[in-house]
Amino acid sequence: MNADQSHYWRLRRQLEADITAAWGTPLIYFGQPSASAKGQRATVRVARSRARSGRQVYETWSFSIWGSWATGWEVRDGDGYLDDQANLLILRLAPYDEDAIPEVSPDYAGIGFNPKVTEVRYIDGTTDDPARGVLVEFTITTKVYQ
């Protein structure tokens, strides 16, 4: 492994550590859970890919999150507290509107990355029954090597 590769992997490990520290377990909290959703945890799947542009390397983290319907989701920092100075991402799903998929209004504070919501849909692929759950997919792309 040459010096460039070693430097890249060191930065990648640091990025992984930062994300783990910022989004420790449990990752998902319901903003205002209904009685039926209280205490449930969402399922989170994470995939990573890499792209290179010259000497710059970009990591893309793709998250798929699904869980029971609630009026909001909060992804908090590892200590479980919301803090404007902490690394956190809040995804809020608006109340169900039968004429549209839920509105997504991300609120970012100090996350240090560039998250973007790419899709919101119900688990069964329709918008007919929000009680069955939702799937939220988003990606984070950050430059990790230069």
- Residues 98-140 have pLDDT tens digits of 333 333 333 333 233 333 333 333 333 444 444 444 444 444 4
Give the per-residue pLDDT at 54. Answer: 73
pLDDT, tens digit, 9 for 90 and up, residues 40-89: 334 444 455 666 777 666 555 554 444 433 333 333 333 333 333 222 23
Distance separating alpha carbons of residues 136 and 10, to the nearest angstrom: 30
**Strand intervals (E) in the chain:** 28-30, 43-53, 56-67, 73-75, 88-91, 107-109, 115-122, 134-145
Distance separating alpha carbons of residues 83 and 77, to the nearest angstrom: 8
Across the chain, which distance is largest between two alpha carbons, in Å?
A: 56
Q: How many CB atoms lie within 10 A of CB 41?
A: 13
Give all strands of the β-sheet with 56-67 in edge-to-edge order: 43-53, 56-67, 134-145, 115-122
Give me 25's structure tokens: 């377990």
Give me 135's structure tokens: 């799937």
Domain containing 102 equals 3-145
Half-sphere exposure for 116 (CA within 13 Å, toward CB): 7
Domain count, the chain: 1
Report the Cα–Cα distance between both ends of the chain, in Å, rounded.
17
pLDDT, tens digit, 9 for 90 and up, residues 18-33: 545 544 432 333 223 3
**Model's pTM, two decimal places?**
0.27
Distance separating alpha carbons of residues 57 and 54, to the nearest angstrom: 8
